[in-house]
Amino acid sequence: MLSSGICLVPRKVQRIHSLICSSSRSFMDLKTLLSSLNDFASLSFAETWDNVGLLVEPSPPHTVNTLFLTNDLTEEVMAEALQKKADLILSYHPPIFRPMKRITWKTWKERLVIQALEKRVGIYSPHTAYDAAPQGVNSWLAKGLGACTSCPIHPSKAANYPTEGTHRVEFSVKHIVDLDKVMSAVNGIAGVSVTSFSARTDDEEHTRLSLNCTQKALLQVVALLSQNRQLYQKTEILSLEKPLLQHTGMGRICTLDESVSLATMIERIKQHLKLSHVRLGLGAGRTLESQIKVVALCAGSGSSVLQGVEADLYLTGEMSHHEVLDAASQGINVILCEHSNTERGFLSDLRDMLNVHLENKVNIILSETDRDPLRVV
């Protein structure tokens, strides 16, 4: 017998309430989502030639319930995304790369833009930002090699300078009267921070000034120095560098904990990428039993990143005929897996990472029709 304080709720009503509560939690404003995606992997990591970020934006406000992940956004994939009610498509490769002079129904990329705008679907591409990220595509590709230590072949630079300004100007002032004049003039220039310390040169005391300047402020400081040259001695102008990031950058150089045969490495890579075949270029004097200790890899088209790197094996999606010949002549083995086959598998890991990063606030799904355009027949 039920106590009088308990109220029964019909099962159908409970299900509706559950769906309402679930749907109320499962969305993000587009701008908020984009900010979170940038926190996950900053677009500043991308190469300067790349076209990354939000490529197609529906008129605001735009709410994202479903985030759709794909390696390439083709017309077939777009049809799938629309069928699955995607609000934002994250396409690893940017479908818009070269400038478009018109948006018509004539070419497939123009049609993608038209469909996205008509159906209010945003398109976002991270591309080389995800290549460089510590938890990105190249780090995922390295997981297939076995236990190893890895670091970027070409480390990225930090987004900001270690101190305020892009340049440092250092010079000496001998007399305290002159120092007051200099400090007054320098403090009148915006974008300059000043430190001073005592120094001794040739048994003579003087004050050393160190100015951190923005690019704009540097011009004013140099003008000041040129007008009052007699006050200053031993002037140095240093260009400040953004620090290199230890785990962020293009490509990976991977040193295995234990050497393995080339044949074993081939099988590991095929298993990791879920491929039945890869293309192999044997290095001069090498066999399938040759030992592999150092692997240089780059997802996608890696020749420019891998060029000149010392390794036992190059692993990438594609290289030109002559680039393979160059590597082989140096005794470097080459494994080619086709461009997007070295990238697509990362999307499963990405989905899991984004679910955590976005706190399950949006529904994240993987494309089922996205595939490499080339296959072995």
Q: What is the C-alpha separation between 232 and 216, in angstroms, rounded?
A: 21
Dihedrals phi, psi of 182, to nearest 5 degrees: -65, -45
Cis ω on the peptide bond leading into residue 61 (within 30° of 0)? yes
Contact, 132 vs 250, CB < 8 A? yes
93 is in an annotated binding site: yes
> Which 3 state secondary structure label does DSSP give 310?
coil
Contact, 243 vs 290, CB < 8 A? no
Contact, 350 vs 366, CB < 8 A? no
Could you tell me which residues are beta bridge partners of residue 69?
A: 90, 366
Sheet holding 204-213, edge to edge: 192-201, 204-213, 167-173, 233-239
131 is in an annotated binding site: yes
289 is in an annotated binding site: no
Rg (C-alpha) for the chain, rounded Å, is: 29
The alpha-helical segments, DSSP class H, found in the chain are 11-25, 30-40, 75-83, 108-118, 128-132, 137-142, 176-187, 215-227, 262-273, 303-306, 321-329, 346-357
Contact, 268 vs 144, CB < 8 A? yes
Q: Which two structure tokens, joined as six digits, stand for 295? A: 């692997």
Q: What is the C-alpha separation between 136 and 148, in angstroms, rounded?
A: 17
Contact, 58 vs 86, CB < 8 A? no
Q: At what angle do helices 108-118 and 75-83 cross, to 10 degrees?
A: 10
343 is in an annotated binding site: yes
Contact, 325 vs 351, CB < 8 A? no
Q: What is the C-alpha separation between 314 and 310, in angstroms, rounded?
A: 9
Binding residues for a divalent metal cation: 93, 131, 339, 343
Binding site listing: 93, 131, 339, 343
